Structure 1
Amino acid sequence: MNRENTDLPKQRNINVQDYSIWPGWRLLMQDAGMQASPVLRRAQLPGDLFARQNVRLNPEDFFKLWKAIEAEGLSRYPDVPVALQIAKVMSSDWFDPELFAALCSANMIGALERMAKYVRLIAPMIIRAEQHATQTSVTLDFIDKTRRPPEVFLIFKLVFFTQLIRLATRTHVMPVSVSLPWTSDKINIDDPAYGQFFGTPVTASEITTIVFLNEDMQRPFLTENHKMWQFFEPSLRQRLADLDKMASTSERVHSILLEMLPAGEASMQSVSQKLAVSTRTLQRRLQDEGTSFQQVLDNVRESLAVHYLRNTNMSGAEISFLLGFEDANSFSRAFLMWTGKTPQSVRETPEQSAGNRD
């Protein structure tokens, strides 16, 4: 059967871990010199994907799509990184909720606030901006830390932030520093093209980060359009509400816990407040779905624990603190109960999944 003529899986509840595909992708790729058909064939996705409305892909298919974009870009422009090829043609014509919300803002500070609020419409990401004396660091994190997106997607987001501020201010703003998690040899972060685009070398780090001068963050956006934003914001708010309604309660709790746990918060009361329901209502809804708050919490803690053990050098005490345990011994006992393995054994054999129980 021709994969291009097949449909996406049957309609299901929206998963808060899904990524959105917007029709504007087709225009952007065409302007970048890439045809949609070969990209979708490489990704083994339907040939009319970019023509559909309200398409959301699970992480596996979304990552396959970006890897296909990377491969197609390399085949057509071997000397230009695909993220930079796309950046060359990025404009306000590419109607994407993230870009539109940002361009209507007064400056990059306001743009980041809006993107942080509505980013879940396009991806299970967390955007944070932390202002210091002279600089502002912008980090891009993911709700599900167990599935890291491909490097091509991460570098594209850093390119996106840089191109956005340049497009909106009509000024060639250069970030102070740029870094991202980098483990593969498919993307050469030492490529001079990246250094030329950003104006600074790209370095490896545990979290995707870009730093701008505060004066650049405050530069007025010439694209600011308050009236247009007032017209479109209700629709974006409704989409965000619909996303929450269509996701199951356990998925929403899972998502909230992934965001809250690293900050040391994991109580049912805090999650209930986030969901604007009582703890009794939350318990009942989870029970109706065949689970409980403790089960969801244990699943989140296990996935985060495996991530920290495999991808960081944090001690057991540090991990136990991030997961909300009183001490390292309590964490070790819980981990053994979840997986049948000790934290140390998982750290020493990272290629094995702690979730694969005997």
Structure 2
Amino acid sequence: MDRFALDTTAGALLHDLGISLPNVLRRAGQPADLLAHGPVTLESRDYFAFWEALEAEADSPDLVVRIGRSLSPEVFNPPMFAALCSRDLDTAARRLAGYKALIGPLRLDVTTGGTDLTLTCLWPDGHTPPPVLVIAELVFWVAMARIGTRHDVRPLRLTVPDVPDDTRPFLDYLGIDVEQAPRPAITFAADDAHRPFLTANELMWQYFEPELRKRLSEVNRDASTTDRVRAALLELLPTGQGTMQGVARSLAVSTRTLQRRLLRERTTFQAVLTDTRTTLAHRYLRDDDLTTEQISFLLGYDDPKSFYRAYRSWTGSTPARTRAERVAHMATGTARLATAAADSPS
């Protein structure tokens, strides 16, 4: 669950970019024949080191844009190629979100508003991916939309925690500037989200899906019961089915078996549920567009009062106070930066 897949098509992509794969692998501390015998999985630190080595070897501020321009069906791995069989970007995102575990522990949150589609990358706690990888994950969706529709699709907004020093390549490629925000996300207009993919092929999707399901079940089988329960809760909480019975149904086991397996891992369903809700609550509270009522719903509570009581028991604080402290902390940081800039010699 803490490993990322590196497909052999990475070699083809780097060749198209004019970047030496052996040099990148050497910089990353990996053997030169790493991909010679097929796809591999790397621990997070090694996968992040690969991207850092790629950035260093390229030594170019427009690396991510070059990757976006170079992407083609030939360098997509099976889950991504299957997404191109979808009827539109919205469907492709939802399909790929379901199989993201085949690529790594990164999750994709798909949110559809009345006038737009937002894709948010959710990195596991404790992971600090290189900024180049974070923004590449988002630019990928622009490339996907353009390949599928054969149209110059341009997003409405792209946000990352660490904005590149030189954003001119992104402005040229995306048609918009990169903005700073706590969560990496990209937003498309509804018209572009539902623009038909010329690559749509339902028969091909039906061919790919059973293999994807098989591979996903193998990944899940290797995961701990705690990880599987947490993954199930992420899907079930917004539906109000984040109960032990609901999770047991999702994992195709009895509640007694589920309890026994969790106890073997020295935890309980309630402990995993509380931990998952606490993590999600902190994440959602960083998004000022979400009201506490909406957060309450996303966490599977019937009414906001239950969420308030639970949050106070977890943290000793309230959602409103947590948000106020975050705003104050950000304001203090901005003031310090402004003071430092004013005091620095011109």
Give the alignment partner of residue 129 of structure 2, picking from 138, 146, 149.
149
| In structure 2, C-alpha distance between the alignment counterparts of 1:308 and 1:129, rounded to whole Å | 14
Give the alignment partner of residue 222 of structure 1, picking from 180, 198, 202.
198
TM-score (norm 2): 0.77
CA contact (8 A) 2:278 2:314 kept: no
Is 1:56 matched with 2:41?
yes
| In structure 2, C-alpha distance between the alignment counterparts of 1:325 and 1:56, rounded to whole Å | 41
Does the residue aligned with 2:14 lie in a helix, a strand or coil? helix
| In structure 2, C-alpha distance between the alignment counterparts of 1:131 and 1:245, rounded to whole Å | 31
| In structure 1, C-alpha distance between the alignment counterparts of 2:243 and 2:117, rounded to whole Å | 31
Which piece of structure 1 moves more, 118-127 or 153-162?
118-127
**Residues 162-213 of structure 1, C-alpha deviation per residue, up to 9 Å, x if partnerless?**
0111111111111111112227xxx32x521111110011101122221112
Give the alignment partner of residue 165 of structure 1, picking from 145, 152, 157.
145
Structure 1 equivalent of residue 72 of structure 2: 91
Structure 2 equivalent of residue 285 of structure 1: 261
Structure 1 equivalent of residue 212 of structure 2: 236
Unaligned segments of structure 1, at least 5 residues: 1-14, 335-342, 350-358
| In structure 2, C-alpha distance between the alignment counterparts of 1:304 and 1:130, rounded to whole Å | 16
TM-score (norm 1): 0.75
Is 1:43 matched with 2:28?
yes
CA contact (8 A) 2:89 2:145 kept: yes
Does the residue aligned with 1:51 lie in a helix, a strand or coil? coil
**Residues 303-331 of structure 1, C-alpha deviation per residue, up to 9 Å, x if partnerless?**
6789899x899xxx99x979867245422
CA contact (8 A) 1:108 1:218 kept: yes
How far did 1:271 drift?
Answer: 2.9
Is 1:140 matched with 2:121?
yes
Distance 1:290 1:154, change over 3 A: same
Does the residue aligned with 2:99 lie in a helix, a strand or coil? helix
CA RMSD of aligned residues (A): 3.4
| In structure 1, C-alpha distance between the alignment counterparts of 2:132 and 2:80, rounded to whole Å | 19
Distance 1:264 1:65, change over 3 A: farther
| In structure 2, C-alpha distance between the alignment counterparts of 1:61 and 1:23, rounded to whole Å | 16
| In structure 1, C-alpha distance between the alignment counterparts of 2:107 and 2:139, rounded to whole Å | 17
| In structure 2, C-alpha distance between the alignment counterparts of 1:304 and 1:113, rounded to whole Å | 20
Distance 1:280 1:312, change over 3 A: same
* Structure 2 letter corresponding to 1:92: P
Give the alignment partner of residue 184 of structure 2, picking from 208, 219, 224.
208
Distance 1:24 1:325, change over 3 A: farther
- Describe how 1:75-86 pairs up with structure 2 within 5 A: 78=60, 80-86=61-67
- Bigger helix share: 2
| In structure 2, C-alpha distance between the alignment counterparts of 1:307 and 1:136, rounded to whole Å | 20
Instruction: Give the number of aligned pairs.
Output: 312
Distance 1:270 1:206, change over 3 A: farther
CA contact (8 A) 2:278 2:311 kept: no
| In structure 1, C-alpha distance between the alignment counterparts of 2:312 and 2:209, rounded to whole Å | 48
Structure 2 equivalent of residue 125 of structure 1: 106
| In structure 1, C-alpha distance between the alignment counterparts of 2:238 and 2:132, rounded to whole Å | 26
How far did 1:300 drift?
Answer: 5.1
| In structure 2, C-alpha distance between the alignment counterparts of 1:235 and 1:253, rounded to whole Å | 23
Unaligned segments of structure 2, at least 5 residues: 300-306, 330-346
Give the alignment partner of residue 66 of structure 1, picking from 51, 68, 75.
51
CA contact (8 A) 1:32 1:88 kept: no
Distance 1:325 1:40, change over 3 A: farther
CA contact (8 A) 1:146 1:307 kept: no
Which piece of structure 1 moves more, 85-94 or 284-293?
284-293
CA contact (8 A) 1:325 1:331 kept: no
| In structure 2, C-alpha distance between the alignment counterparts of 1:325 and 1:19, rounded to whole Å | 37
Structure 2 equivalent of residue 182 of structure 1: 162
Distance 1:257 1:133, change over 3 A: closer
* Structure 1 letter corresponding to 2:157: S
Is 1:250 matched with 2:233?
no
